[in-house]
Amino acid sequence: MSANGSPGSAYAELERRFHRLSAINRAGAILNWDRSTMMPDGASSDRADQLATLNVVAHEILVAPEMPALLARAEEERAPLGVWQTANLREMRHVWTHANALPADLVEARTRATAACEMAWREAKKNANFKALLPTLEEVVKLTRRVGEAKADALGLPFYDALLDEYEPGGRSSRIDALFGELKAFLPALLQRVVERQKAAGAPLALDGPFPVEAQRQLGEAMIRAIGFDFDHGRLDVSAHPFTGGTAEDVRITTRYDEHDFARALMGVLHECGHALYELGLPRDWTRQPVGNARGMVLHESQSLLMEMQACRSRAFIDFAAPRMREAFGRSGPAWEAGNIHRLYTRVSPGFIRVDADEVTYPLHIMLRYRLERAILGGDLALADLPGAWNDGMRDLLGIVPPNDSLGCLQDIHWPDGAWGYFPTYTLGALAAAQLFAAARASVPALLEAIARGDFAPLLGWLRTNVHGKGSIADTDRILVEATGRPLGTAAFKAHLESRYLSA
Amino acid sequence: MSANGSPGSAYAELERRFHRLSAINRAGAILNWDRSTMMPDGASSDRADQLATLNVVAHEILVAPEMPALLARAEEERAPLGVWQTANLREMRHVWTHANALPADLVEARTRATAACEMAWREAKKNANFKALLPTLEEVVKLTRRVGEAKADALGLPFYDALLDEYEPGGRSSRIDALFGELKAFLPALLQRVVERQKAAGAPLALDGPFPVEAQRQLGEAMIRAIGFDFDHGRLDVSAHPFTGGTAEDVRITTRYDEHDFARALMGVLHECGHALYELGLPRDWTRQPVGNARGMVLHESQSLLMEMQACRSRAFIDFAAPRMREAFGRSGPAWEAGNIHRLYTRVSPGFIRVDADEVTYPLHIMLRYRLERAILGGDLALADLPGAWNDGMRDLLGIVPPNDSLGCLQDIHWPDGAWGYFPTYTLGALAAAQLFAAARASVPALLEAIARGDFAPLLGWLRTNVHGKGSIADTDRILVEATGRPLGTAAFKAHLESRYLSA
C-alpha cells in the first residue's frame, strides 16, 4: 500500500481507515461469490448473518464521529499530496457522503422492504401476477423516494441524479436525456432497416447440439486465456445468474451452461471477461483504497460490452474462434464456417426480454425503463398503471407487445431490489464501448487483424493504459475525453451499428 | 439467536458483542477454507490482508475497554440466567481471558516468528537439515515461553497447562502424565504381540489400482451421506492437506485423492466426517455464541477417531462397505472380500511418520512429542539436542530409528507453527473415542449390526444427545462422565485394542 502524506497526518489516518474498509469489503465480495457458487443451501441464514455483520462493521468505519474532522483536516492540510492521493481524498469524501446521507432507520427500512419485495417478485413473476407485487413495490418506491431526497440534500444534486450517482458517480440525467434523445432519433429506423435486410438475406444455418458442458467449459477457458484473463488471479465457475465478483487481485467470474446452445455461455463468459479484465487492470498500488476502484457502472459495462459486442462479435474474432469451436465440439460443415457463425452472432430481432436482446434493440429496452422509472419516482405514473405504460412503451419503441407481465414489466429484478437509477448505465456503457473501441482501432494499427490471429495484447494494452489503469483518478467523462478525444456521445455507437449491420 | 437475561442487561450486551465476534470468525473460517481449496495462487497477499483485518476487528471486540466491567456486571447481575446462559457467560470470560492475557507486541512478535519459522521449516524438511531450522525455532520457543508465562499468570495455571488450555480448556498435564503413564505400561508390549500375531497370519492381499478419482469421490460421498453428513449444510472438496473447516451450519471437509490407494482418501473422508458431524450437531440455538462451540480438541479428535477408527475400521462397517467398494471400482475376487479388506484396514506396523501411523502405534508418536516439548519448554532439553533425543525416543517407544530428520523431528508443522501444547490432544481424543464408542454400544442395542446394514442413525443419535448437542455447556470430563459414567481413562482404549487385534 501507499500510505502517503506525512505519517501522522489526517490523510495518512484516512488511508488506514479506508484500507480496513476495503479489506472488509473484499472479504465480503469473496463471501458473496461463495454464496452464489459453492455454499450449500442450508447455510443461507448463516451467511446472511456474516455479511450483515461485515456491512455493519464497514458502515461503522464510515460513520465514525471522527470522520468529518479527519476529512476536513486532510482537505486543509498543506501536506504535499500527489495526484493519486489527491484523487483518493476526493473519493473518500464521496464514499463518506453517500454513507452518511441516510439515517440508519431508513437504511434498515429499505433493506427490509427490498428483501420482502424481492421475495414477492419471484412469485409474481412466476405467476405473471403484477397485482401480487404491487404492495411491496409501493413500499420500495416510497423508501426509494426518501433515499433520493436524502441523497439529493447531501450531494446537492437533483433527486434522480442523486440515485444515479451511487452507480455512476458524476452521472447526470440531463446528459442521459440528451443521449437517449439522439438514440431515439435514429435507432427505431435503423432497427427496421436491419431487420428487413437480414430477412432478405435469409436465416443463417443453426448449430445443432448437444454441446457437452465440459467441452464448453474448456472452450470458454481457452478463449478468455487467449484474451488475457489471468487464472493466477481469477477463476471461472458456474452460478445460476452469471456475474463478475471477488476482488481486483482475485476475480471470480461465473456462467451457466446450456447443452443446446453454447453461444450463450461463451458470449456470457466473454462479457464477464471484459468486466474481469477491468478489475485485473486497476492500478495495483491503489486497489485497497477508494481511488483504485473501478470508476463506475458506465465504464464497467463499457468493458464487458467492448469485449463481448465490439471485439468478440466482430468477424475478425469469429475467424479466430470458428476453427476452435469446430475442434471443441468435433463438428464441421457449412453451418460451422466463420461467415455463418458471424451471421448467427449478429442476428437482430426485437424481443420481449432485455437480457436476451441484441445490441441494436437493447438500448430501446433501457430507454423504456429509464422513462418509466423517472415517471414513477416523479409521481407522474401510478405504479398500478405500470403494466399498461410498459406495453405502450414496447409498442412505441420496439413495435411488439408482451402477452403477459412476466415477459413485460415483471422481468427484471432491479426495481424490486431497490436499484432505481441503475438501468441507464447499461446503455451509456454500450455507447462508451463503441467510442473506446473506435479510439483503440484508430490508435493501434491492425487491431482487428491481431484479434483475428487470437492476439488480444494490443487491445488489452490500450485498455490498460487508457481505462483500467486509471481507476477512479478522474470522472468517466474525463477518462473518455483523454482516451477518445471527446466526452460520451452516440456517434461511435451509430457508426458501429451502421458498419456492422448495414454495410457490405 | 437467544438473547437472554433482561434486555439492557450486561449479559444481553455481551451476547450482542459475542454474536458479532462469532459472525466475523465464521466469515474468516469460510475465507480460510476458500484459501485452501478455491483461491488462485496470486491472491494470497490479498487474502492475508482480509484475514488479518478480520482478526484485528475480532480482537478489538475482545479487548474493548468496556469488557471487564461488562463481564463483572453480568457475573454479579441477579438476572435469572438459564443454564445455557450461565455456561455461556463462563465461556465468554474464558475467551476474554485468553485474548487479554497477551500484550499486543507479543502477539505480533509470535505471528512474525512462526511465519518465518514455518517458511524455514519447509526448506529444512525438504533438505533434512535440522540446523537450518534451529535459529527460527529458537525464536519460536523463546516467544512460546513468554506466551505460556503470560497465560499462566492470567489463568492461574501451571505454565504448560496454560498453553494446553488454549486447545483443550480445562486440560491438565498432571492428568496427561498419569494417562500416558498407563499407556506406556501396556502399549509397547501389546504392539509387539499384535505385530507378531499379524506376521504369523501372513500379509493380506493388496487392492491393486488405479482407482479413478471420480469413482473415489462418489464412493466417499455415498459413504458419508450414509453416515449422516448433511450436504445441505456442507461440502466435500479437495485440498493439499485434508481438514474440516467452515461453520456449524456450513461445514467444509476436504481430502486428497491418490489413484493408487483409495483407502487413504476414504478413511480420511470418514475421519473428517466425524469432525463434521460434531460441528453439525452443535446446539443450533447457540452456535453463534461461545457456549455453542465445540468443547475442545480432545472431544473434536474423539469424534473423528470414533468415526474412522472405532466405527469405520470395524468388521461391521467393512461388511457394509466392501460390496460398495467392489461396485465403485468394478472389481472382485479374494482381495475384495470383506475379511481381507478388514485385515488391510487394521494392519499394524511401527513407522517413522505420525500421520501414517495405525491406531496402536499412534499414541507412541504422541507420547514422544509430549515428552520432548515439555523438556524443551522447561529448559531440560536444548533445541540443538532435539534430533538425538527424538531418535532415542523412537528407539525406546517404537523400536525404530529414522534414517534422517525429515523422517524424524522435522516431520510435523506444529512446533514451527507455534502449536505447543497441542500434540497430546490427539491421543486424549483416541482414548475418549474408545470410551464413547464403548458407552454407545452398551447403551444402544445392536449398534454394530445397524452399522453393518449401513444404518448409522442409532450411533449418530447417541452422539448428538451425549456429545454434539452439549456444545461447551460443561467441561470435557463432565461430558464424558455423563456420557460414559467415568472421566477420561485408558481402559476402554486398551479393551478396544485387545478385542480388535488380539482376540478371535
* Interface predicted TM-score (ipTM): 0.94
Q: How many residues does chain A have?
A: 504
For residue B102, count CB atoms less than 10 angstroms from its CB and return exposed for 0-12, middle for 13-18, buried for 19 or more: middle
CB–CB contacts below 8 A, A to B: 104
Q: Which residues contact A400 (CB under 8 A, 6 or more apart)?
A: A350, A351, A352, A394
**Per-residue pLDDT tens over the stretch A115-140:** 999 999 999 999 999 999 999 999 99
Interface of B with A in 261-320 (CB under 8 A): 288
Q: How far apart are CA A489 and CA A479, in angstroms?
A: 13
Q: How confident is the model at residue B300 (pLDDT cuts 50, 70, 90)?
A: very high
Q: How many residues does chain B have?
A: 504
Domain A213-351+431-502: assigned CATH number = 1.10.1370.30
- pLDDT at residue B1 greater than cutoff 80: no
Q: How far apart are CA B477 and CA A371, in angstroms?
A: 70
Q: How far is B419 from chain A (nearest CA, A)?
A: 27
Residue by residue, DSSP assigns B246-276 as EETTEEEEEE---TT-HHHHHHHHHHHHHHH
Per CB-CB distance under 8 Å, the chain A contacts of B26 are: 46, 49-50
- Return the closest-CA partner of residue A234 out of A248, A223, A250: A250
Buried residues in B430-454 as b, exposed as e (16+ CB within 10 A): bbbbbbbbbbbbeeeeebbebbbeb
Domain B213-351+425-502: assigned CATH number = 1.10.1370.30
Q: Which residues contact B495 (CB under 8 A, 6 or more apart)?
A: B434, B438
Q: How far apart are CA B159 and CA B150, in angstroms?
A: 9
- Chain A residue closest in CA terms to B250: A43
- CA torsion through residues A187, A190, A192, A197, sign: negative
pLDDT at A2: 45
Q: How confident is the model at residue A504 (pLDDT cuts 50, 70, 90)?
A: low
C-alpha cell recorded at residue B60: 478489538
- pLDDT at residue A79 greater than cutoff 90: no
pLDDT at A80: 83
Residue by residue, DSSP assigns B404-444 as SGGGTTTS-STTTTT-TT-THHHHHHHHHHHHHHHHHHHHS
The number of angstroms, rounded, from the C-alpha of B263 to the middle of its chain's C-alpha atoms is 20
Q: How far apart are CA A383 and CA A373, in angstroms?
A: 10
B60 touches chain A (CB under 8 A): no
Q: How far apart are CA B303 and CA A498, in angstroms?
A: 69
Which of A5-9, A220-224, B337-341 bottoms out in mean pLDDT, i.e. has the lowest?
A5-9
**Mean pLDDT in residue range B449-473:** 98
Which of A79-83, B108-112, B389-393, B423-427 bottoms out in mean pLDDT, i.e. has the lowest?
A79-83
- Look at A20 and B46 and tell me if their CB atoms are within 8 Å: no
A156 touches chain B (CB under 8 A): no
- pLDDT at residue B20 greater than cutoff 50: yes
Q: How far apart are CA B201 and CA B436, in angstroms?
A: 31
Select from A38, A47, A230 the Cβ nearest to the Cβ of B235: A38
Between CA A371 and CA A378, with CA A377 as vertex, the angle to 5 degrees is 85
For residue B126, count CB atoms less than 10 angstroms from its CB and return exposed for 0-12, middle for 13-18, buried for 19 or more: exposed
**Per-residue pLDDT tens over the stretch B21-66:** 999 999 999 999 999 999 999 999 999 999 999 999 999 999 999 9
Catalytic residue among B272, B279, B308, B373: B272
- Please report where in the chains the cell 485468553 appears, as a residue: B98
**Per-residue pLDDT tens over the stretch A330-364:** 999 999 999 999 999 999 999 999 999 999 999 99
C-alpha cell recorded at residue B284: 443450533
- pLDDT at residue B338 greater than cutoff 50: yes
Q: Where are the alpha helices (DSSP H) in B250-383?
A: 262-281, 297-305, 315-329, 338-345, 362-377
- Look at B235 and A40 and tell me if their CB atoms are within 8 Å: yes
- pLDDT at residue B3 greater than cutoff 80: no
- Dihedral Cα B109, B112, B116, B121, nearest 10 deg: 80
**Per-residue pLDDT tens over the stretch B78-119:** 768 999 999 999 999 999 999 999 998 999 899 999 999 999
Q: How many other CB atoms sit within 10 Å of the CB of residue A217?
A: 18
Q: How far is B53 from chain A (nearest CA, A)?
A: 6
Select from A23, A53, A232 the Cβ nearest to the Cβ of B23: A53
What are the backbone angles phi and psi of residue B270, rounded to the nearest 5°?
-65, -40
Q: Is A332 helix (H, G, I), strand (E, B) or coil?
A: coil
Long-range contacts formed by B56-63: CB under 8 A, 24+ apart: B56/A20, B57/A20, B57/A24, B57/A57, B57/B24, B58/B21, B58/B24, B58/B25, B58/B28, B59/B99, B61/B17, B61/B18, B61/B20, B61/B21, B61/B24, B62/B21, B62/B95, B62/B96, B62/B99, B62/B100, B63/B99, B63/B100
As beta bridge partners, residue B251 has B234, B246
Catalytic residue among A15, A168, A272, A373: A272
Task: Identify whether the C-beta of residue B286 lies closer than 8 Å to the C-beta of residue B84.
Answer: yes
Task: Identify whether the C-beta of residue B228 lies closer than 8 Å to the C-beta of residue B456.
Answer: yes
Task: Identify whether the C-beta of residue A207 lies closer than 8 Å to the C-beta of residue A219.
Answer: no
What are the backbone angles phi and psi of residue B237, rounded to the nearest 5°?
-135, -175
C-alpha cell recorded at residue A494: 451509430
**Per-residue pLDDT tens over the stretch B344-377:** 999 999 999 999 999 999 999 999 999 999 999 9
Q: Which residues contact B96 (CB under 8 A, 6 or more apart)?
A: B62, B67, B71
Q: What is the pTM of this model?
A: 0.95
C-alpha cell recorded at residue B287: 452456535
Q: How far is B231 from chain A (nearest CA, A)?
A: 7
- Dihedral Cα B413, B415, B418, B422, nearest 10 deg: 90
Task: Identify whether the C-beta of residue A364 lies closer than 8 Å to the C-beta of residue A195.
Answer: no
- pLDDT at residue A3 greater than cutoff 60: no
A57 touches chain B (CB under 8 A): yes
User: What's the Cα-to-Cα distance from A483 to each of A474, B384, B387, rounded to whole Å?
Assistant: 12, 64, 65
Q: Is A374 helix (H, G, I), strand (E, B) or coil?
A: helix
Buried residues in B276-304 as b, exposed as e (16+ CB within 10 A): bbbbbbbbeebbbbbbbbbbbbbbbbbbb
DSSP 8-class letter at A127: T
- Return the closest-CA partner of residue B268 out of B226, B288, B239: B239
A234 touches chain B (CB under 8 A): yes
C-alpha cell recorded at residue B220: 466417499
Select from B51, B57, B249 the Cβ nearest to the Cβ of A46: B249
pLDDT at A1: 40
Query: Known catalytic residue: A108?
Result: no
- pLDDT at residue A4 greater than cutoff 60: no
| B446: alpha, beta or left? (left if phi > 0; alpha if psi -120 to 50) | left
- Please report where in the chains the cell 443451501 appears, as a residue: A41
**Mean pLDDT in residue range B445-460:** 97
- Please report where in the chains the cell 464497467 appears, as a residue: A300
**Per-residue pLDDT tens over the stretch A252-272:** 999 999 999 999 999 999 999
Q: How far is A427 from chain B (nearest CA, A)?
A: 33
- Please report where in the chains the cell 455456561 appears, as a residue: B87
* Residue B340 amino acid letter: N
Q: How far apart are CA B54 and CA B45, in angstroms?
A: 14
What radius of gyration do chain A's Cα atoms show? 23
Q: How far is B44 from chain A (nearest CA, A)?
A: 9
pLDDT at A78: 73
Task: Identify whether the C-beta of residue A299 lies closer than 8 Å to the C-beta of residue A432.
Answer: yes
pLDDT at B104: 87
Per CB-CB distance under 8 Å, the chain B contacts of A31 are: 27, 30-31
pLDDT at B349: 96
Per CB-CB distance under 8 Å, the chain A contacts of B27 are: 27-28, 31, 50-51, 53-54
- Return the closest-CA partner of residue B180 out of B170, B168, B191, B188: B188
- Look at B233 and A26 and tell me if their CB atoms are within 8 Å: no
Task: Identify whether the C-beta of residue A348 lies closer than 8 Å to the C-beta of residue A189.
Answer: no
**Mean pLDDT in residue range A451-479:** 97
pLDDT at A8: 83
What radius of gyration do chain B's Cα atoms show? 23
As beta bridge partners, residue A251 has A234, A246
